Amino acid sequence: MASSLLSRQLTRSLRPNLHLAAPGCRYVSKTAAKPVSEFEYDAPSMKTPVPGPKSKELTRQLGEIQNVGAVNFFCNYEESRGNYLVDADGNRMLDLYTQISSVPIGYNHPALMKAVTNPIHLSAFVNRPALGILPPENFPEKLVESLLSIAPTGMTRVQTMACGSCSNENAYKAMFIWYKNKERGTNSPSADEVSSCMINQGPGCPDLSILSFMGGFHGRTLGCLATTHSKVIHKLDIPSFDWPIASFPRLQYPLEEFVRENAQEEARCLEEVEDLIVKWRQKGKPVAGIVVEPIQAEGGDNHASPDFFIKLRNIARKHGCAFHVDEVQTGGGTTGKFWAHEHWGTDDPADIVSFSKKMLTGGYYHKDELVPDKGYRIFNTWMGDPSKNVFLTEVLNVIRRENLLDEVTRSGKVLLQGLYELQAQYPHILSRARGQGTFCAVDARDDVTRDNLLLKTRDKGVLLGGCGDRSIRFRPALVFKEYHAHQFLNIFNDVLSEYK
C-alpha cells in the first residue's frame, strides 16, 4: 500500500501544475522562483467551504461515538503531500499549522515513505516493545543515530516517552526525585517516608513545587496542568497543586523602540521569580524546579530575550532548583536552530530539555545527576516507540541533506517581513508581528477578528492556527520555502483587503 501511494504521488507530480488565481489586491512582494518538486502540489485548490458536506457528515457520525467539539474537518491524508493538506471534500490547503506544529518535513515525504517499505524496518513497525524492560537489541544504536545526534549542549542522556504531556510529567518526577535525594544526602528513603507515601501523606509525599509562568503551556495531565496557564478550557474543574506562578515578560513591539521598557519588564519578572521561590520555601513547599518555554506557544507566542533566560537559569542554580526547558513545540528546527534555546548562546542552558511534536517521539534530555536512582521510578509500558526513531533518523537525514535549517531562516525572514508590511498596511486589524525562523505570530485587534480571519483564510486555501487571546500563529513544516511564504502573504492580503 505504501509503495503504491508513493508511486501515485510521483505520477501526480508529472501532471500540469495548477496556478493560484486569487482575486483582489495583491501583496506587494514579488513571488520567489519556485523549483519543481517531486512530491508537492503547486497551489491551494478549494472546491467547497470548510468544513464541506462530507466532513460535516463524518463529524455527525463520529459525534455518535465521541465528543467532536474540537474537530475542524476531516482529512484525506493519502492525498496530502508536502506543505499541502487535503480534506475529505477534496479541498487542498497550504498548511501553516501542521497538526499543531508536529509535522517536520511535510505530508507523505518520499524519504519517510521509503523508510516504511524498507524490509529492515518492518520489525520496528510490527512489534511495539515495552522499552523499559524488554528493549530491542538495536535500541542503543538507534538512539545514538537519532536522538543523541542532536542532543542539547552538555547532555548525553535521553529518556524516551510517547507524547509531550507524558514527557513533561515524567521530567517533573525526575526533578522531584533528584531534589529529595539531594536533600537527604542519600537515595535511601526512611521507613516513615516509605509508609506515608502509600497514603498520600508526608514525608513520603513531600510538599515540593514547580515554578511556572503565566501564559505557559506544558500539557494536560494533572501535574502538567498545574504548570499550564494558557486557556481556561484546559484547567476548569480539575483539581490542582498550590505551586508558584510567575509573570512572563510582556514585551512591547517593535523591540528596537522599546529597549528600556522591555529590559525593565524582564527585570520585574525575574525579581518576582526570586520572591516566589523564597515565599514558597517559607510556606514549606520549596521549589524543586522551574519550567519554561523558550517561546510561550499556546499562550500567545510570547518571547523574551536571551538575557532573560540566562538570568533565569542562574536564579535556578542559585536556589538549588532544577531548570527545565520545555521544547515540545519550539524544538526540531522551526526557529532556525534545532533547539530554540540555542539562540541564548550559553553552554549550560538547562538541566532538562523536553521534546515531542516535530521530533515524532516524546521524551526529555537530562544531566547525569537526574538519572533515576532505581528502576521503575520513571516508567510506563511503552516509554516511546522504536518506529518513531526510524522516522526521526530519516527526518534528520533530510534536514542535513537539504540544509533545511538555513531554509527555515530564509523563509522565516520573508514571512516575518511580509507580516510587518501587512500590519503597516492594515494597522486597524493587525499588530505585534514577531517571530524566530518560521515560528511566527501576529495579533488581531480582538479574538472575534482573529477567529474570523482564520476561517476566511481557510476558505481561501490556507490553514492557520490561533493562540493566546487574539494571536494568529504560524507553524509550517521545515520544507516551507520562500515561495510558500509569498503564496500565503498574497492570500492573506486578499482576506485583509476584504475585511471591514
* Residues acting as catalytic residues: 217, 326, 357, 381
Q: Which three cell numbers stand for residue 17?
A: 501544475
Look up residue 81 and give its amino acid: R
Longest dimension (CA), the chain: 75
Phi and psi at residue 290, in whole multiples of 5°? Answer: -115, 130
Q: Are 175 and 218 in contact (CB under 8 A)?
A: no
| Residue 203 · residue 192 · CB < 8 Å | yes
Query: How is residue 445 written as a grid cell?
Result: 485587534
Cell digits of residue 418? 511580509
Q: What element of type H or E holds 290?
A: strand 287-292
Pairing of strands 439-444, 430-436: antiparallel
Cα separation of 157 and 253, whole Å? 38
DSSP state of 407: H
Contacts of 297 (CB under 8 A, 6+ apart): 101, 217, 329, 330, 467, 473
The strand pair at 92-95 and 245-246 is best described as unpaired
Contact 437, 334 (CB under 8 A): yes
Question: How far is Cα of residue 81 from the mean position of the Cα atoms in its chain?
Answer: 21
**Distance, CA of 66 to CA of 193 (rounded, Å):** 42
DSSP-assigned letter for residue 75: B
Cα separation, 166 vs 420, in Å, equals: 37
Is 94 within 8 Å of 411 (Cβ atoms)?
A: no
Whole-angstrom Cα distance, residue 383 to residue 362?
Answer: 9
